[in-house]
Amino acid sequence: MTAPAAQNRRDAARSAIGAIWPTAQHSPASQRRERYVAESMAHPAKMLPAVAAEAIRRYTASGDLVLDPMCGIGTTLVEATHLGRRAIGIEYEPRWADIARANLNHAGATSSAVIAGDARQLDQLLPAEFHKQVALVLTSPPYGHATHGRVSTHPDGVRKSDYRYTTYQGGYGRGNLAYVGNDRLLDGFTRILTNTHRLLRPGGHVVITVRPWRDHIELIDGPSRIAACAQAAGLTLVDRCVALLGRITDTGDYIPRPSFFHRDFITRQRARGVPLHLVAHEDVLIFRLEQEQRPCRQEGLSLHERTQTATPNR
């Protein structure tokens, strides 16, 4: 295939599907190399730096304030810093908050910060000086047991590590939304989004990156459920894009970059006759706060009931 033909194929694909972000042309490790401290790799569900950078470039300008209320190791904050924005992050787990601060220092940030706390109390964690100052809220929900981890080979076989957000003696970190079950996760995420109202400036955006996740072999429509959370929080969906998790070749082919565990799980299920496929992209949901709107209450319905239109699919 000639170069012009390949370009025409890529352009046609973009026109047919919508806004496609080619955010995995380089591997996740190469995207973080020399930009993040080594301890960052232990986090089980890191946002791709290229996804964060694309959202920040599209929806902010130099000097704008970017907020990530569930910042993890600080990917949003680091990419905002490199693009000349100010950034502030909230992180529930002290371990990741410390690593996020180290990443900010490594990036040379002078006007960004990380606050250790529960984003469900976002309005209490950030002082009044931040009200109506945030141009972009950029975040991603936790995936709990659906997260993968790191793999290493040993004489006795393959070992998995770094697949939990945290572990305390006696069980998982209490209160972490990654481990509270889908219903409480959705309710907690809605509360976080509702608390952004006072922080967003007029015309500001909320961008959420979310992919489907599997509960055993059931594919959970995470994007639709998170979109329902945002609607319940009084936000209006204004765009929906696709951030690729694989590479587009010069000939227009798509090469996925699945984790070892994701690929192994799919292979084993196919051998059993279950026709599963790799998750090849993340949805990027873009919202704005319409000033005249109020959070949707829908009397008599729980958030879980309101999101049941997004039923699990095989």
104-134: pLDDT as tens digits: 999 999 999 999 999 999 988 998 999 999 9
Alpha carbons within 13 angstroms on the beta-carbon side of residue 198 total 14
CA distances to 227, 242, 249 from 205, in Å = 14, 17, 32
Q: How many CB atoms lie within 10 A of CB 303?
A: 21
Per-residue pLDDT, 216:
66
Lowest pLDDT segment from 90-99, 200-209, 252-261, 292-301: 292-301
Give me 253's structure tokens: 């082919």
Question: Does position 178 have pLDDT exceeding 80, yes or no?
Answer: no
Question: Does position 15 have pLDDT exceeding 50, yes or no?
Answer: no
Residue 1 included in any domain:
no
For residue 158, what are the domain limits? 19-306
Cα–Cα distance between 36 and 28 in angstroms, integer? 12
215-230 pLDDT per residue, tens:
666 777 889 999 999 9
Residue 314 included in any domain:
no
Alpha carbons within 13 angstroms on the beta-carbon side of residue 36 total 28
Buried b (16+ CB within 10 A) or exposed e, 155-193: eeeeeeeebbbbeeeeebbeebbbbbeeeebbbbbbbbb
Residue 5 included in any domain:
no
Strands 150-154 and 134-139: unpaired
Give me 10's structure tokens: 């890529």
Residue 189 included in any domain:
yes
Cα–Cα distance between 71 and 92 in angstroms, integer? 9
Q: In one letter, which amino acid is 98?
A: D
For the entire predicted model, the pTM comes to 0.78
Residue 12 included in any domain:
no
Per-residue pLDDT, 63:
97
Question: Does position 181 have pLDDT exceeding 70, yes or no?
Answer: no
Residue-wise DSSP of 197-241? TTTEEEEEEEEEEE--EEETTEEE-HHHHHHHHHHHTTEEEEEEE
Residue 312 included in any domain:
no
Residue 262 included in any domain:
yes
Would you say how long the chain is, in residues? 314
Query: What average pLDDT does the chain have?
Result: 80
Q: In one letter, which amino acid is 267?
A: T
Of 130, 117, 261, residue with least CA distance to 192: 117
Question: Does position 311 have pLDDT exceeding 60, yes or no?
Answer: no
Residue 56 included in any domain:
yes
Q: If pLDDT is split at 50, 70 and 90, which confidence band does 258 have?
A: confident
Q: How many domains does the chain have?
A: 1
* Domain CATH code at residue 234: 3.40.50.150
Per-residue pLDDT, 119:
92
